[in-house]
Structure 1
Amino acid sequence: MTDDLPLYEAIPIGTVEQTEERVEASMARGFRRFQLKVGGDPRADVVAVRRVVELAGEGALIIVDANGGWRLDDALVAARGLADLPIYLEQPCPTLEACARVQRVTGLPMIYDEVVVDAQSLVAAVREGGASVVNLKLTKVGGLTPLRALRDLAASLGVRMMLEDSWGGDIASAAISQIAASAPAGALLATTFVNDATREHIAGHQPRSANGQGNVPAGVGLGIDVGLELLGAPIATYV
């Protein structure tokens, strides 16, 4: 179990200049792992990604994530323009079949996200889609127990993983930190603390990121103390 989690910073879609500015701001806060959101004009996306690779420098982790937003032709244009770069490509197209075609054409290591929801789809992503990494989300797969099972299945299949959630606050981040910290050795590519992007913190903004790394709360359960007074009155009471 590790207490030093590798965190990435998600960089939203923007102009080349906006992307550079956001990456520079993240680097100033200690981040060297970035998930660049793309999916618009594939040629403009290629320019932005190349700028970030140069800016971040050797040893940075760059994930190019289209969230399934490209059509196959646009994905192929973008992927061919990125094929010589040390990057990961995440879910360029909506379907497993289209993503697999992009992977075969370019050889880029492929991360599958939206199409992986259970054990069957995870195995298909590895065996049919050529997955190098799978992105597993807490609420998408149904909670901590199925997430742990999928995490261990991915490790047994020899692929690395990203462990995270689509959104949330301190509780979601604490849950992710625990499941990520107990991943098999070497299996975790990166994770992220979603509570860094929220204003309300019902557990004192714990866990918290620092210099691109994440800590793991050490208390009982998820390791955090939730301020019940911040939750407001209950909407229902059962006796």
Structure 2
Amino acid sequence: MKITAIKAWQIDLPLKEGRYSWSGGNYVEVFDSTVVAIETDEGLTGYAECCPLGSAYLPSYAKGVRAGLAEIGPHLIGCDPLALNEVNRRMDAALRGHPYVKAPVDIACWDILGKATGLPVYMLLGGAMQENVALYRAISQESPDQMAEKIAGYKAEGYTKFQLKVGGDANEDIDRIRATRAVLAVDDILIADANTGWTRHEAARVVGAVSDLDVYIEQPCASYAESVSIRRRTALPFILDEVIDGTDTLVRGIAEDAMDVINLKISKVGGLTRARLMRDLCVASGIPMTIEDTWGGDITTAAIAHLARSTPEKFCFSATDFNSYGTVTFAEGAPERVNGRMTAADRPGLGITPDFDLLGEPVLVIK
């Protein structure tokens, strides 16, 4: 089997809530997502999606996905899409870094592998370790009362895990954490996610001020060293996200006891091939994961669901149904939330079919 063409479509994904805000005053109202198709000489086509969280979150941006695909695409024509290691080797040889650009190519090749073997991707990633996966809900940064009110609303939809966007003014963040914990049941999970937004002294103040609460602290500072410094000052469970960007940082974090949980974002690490490796390292080391991505819609949610479903429940801290945050549905067969949980399809590959009437003409074609 050979790759004969790579195509990409751009699609806007407006938010139901109108705006998603996090640390540093950053926000997005309409996400710019890229849908990718890998076509083959045997009639099989694989699909994927990449949607960076704006341009001020990670070293990635929406137009960069499409520019990067134009750079690496010609090097992949004629390559066997089932030879995943060779596909990744060619991408790395053609473009240093930029894992988010390579992620949709890798994911689309997994989709082809599933279709070629007649198996859902979760089976190729290790098999069904759980029937469905628990979801968390991200709570956009607003006033303490507004965030508490939104949590109460999402609890009614079946969510029991909430990721609170903090990383702003330390005093207000303390109030946000206290106000939201107060509306939760004892067995609900609350995560205070600073998204690198606090300086070290601000983070030290916040973790000290909420030390009596049942709350996880996530990615308090911009650097690994700063965040680990805060880890050493608190007994609260600790999550790292942005600074765990590959196997090297993951291995370091495990060796140095830098975290209790990580957020494993598929596009941040370059696709399902590398995400699976990191997942397996975490399981072997006893580190649970939130399995997710930077953002996305139906196809991103499908990829998350397959990786999460193939992860033991004990180590799948939560996952994300990004397609429930937006107003646009563009793929048939995508996972749907049921009582705060979702599952991956049993159909071959990712189990989704893009709506090309909605997507329109591709913005990039490489043959």
Within 1, Cα distance between the matches of 2:150 and 2:333?
Answer: 22
Gaps of 5+ in 2: 1-127
Residue 56 (str. 1) matches residue 56 (str. 2): no
Q: Is the 8 A contact 1:96 1:129 kept in 2?
A: no
Separation in 1 of the partners of 2:258 and 2:362? 47
After superposition, the CA RMSD in angstroms is 1.5
Partner of 2:235: 107
**CA–CA distance in 1 between the matches of 2:364 and 2:172?**
51
1:195 and 1:205 in contact (8 A); partners too: no
Letter in 1 for 2:172: A
Number of matched residues?
239
Using the aligned pairs only, state the percent identity.
36
Q: Which has the higher contact order (CA 8 A, sep 6+)?
A: 2
What's the TM-score, normalizing by structure 2?
0.63
Aligned letter for 2:205? Answer: V
Is 1:151 aligned with 2:279?
Answer: yes
Amino acid at match of 1:26: Y
Residues of 2 paired with 1:53 and 1:4: CA distance? 26
Greater Cα radius of gyration, structure 1 or 2:
2
Q: Which residue of 1 aligns with 2:223?
A: 95
What is the CA distance between 1:126 and its match in structure 2? 2.3
Whether 2:158 is the aligned partner of 1:30: answer: yes
What whole-Å deviation, never above 9, does each CA across 1:68-110 have from its counterpart, x for those lacking one?
A: 0000000000011122222111100011111111111112111
The structure 2 residue matched to 1:184, chosen from 294, 298, 312, is 312
The change in CA–CA distance for 1:93 and 1:228 in structure 2 (over 3 A counts) is same
Give me the TM-score of the superposition, normalised by structure 1: 0.95
**Rounded Cα–Cα distance in structure 2 between residues aligned with 1:174 and 1:6:** 14
Aligned to 1:210, what secondary structure does the other structure show?
coil
Equivalent pair of 1:152/1:184 in contact (CA under 8 Å): no
Which residue does 1:132 correspond to in 2?
260
Which of 194, 210, 219 is the equivalent residue of 1:66? 194
Matched residue type, 2:198: W
4+ aligned runs moved over 6 Å, structure 1? none
2:207 paired residue number? 79
Indicate which of 220, 223, 230 corresponds to 2:348.
220
Give 1:31's aligned amino acid.
Answer: Y
Structure 1: runs of 5+ lacking an equivalent: none
CA distance in 1, matches of 2:228, 2:144: 28
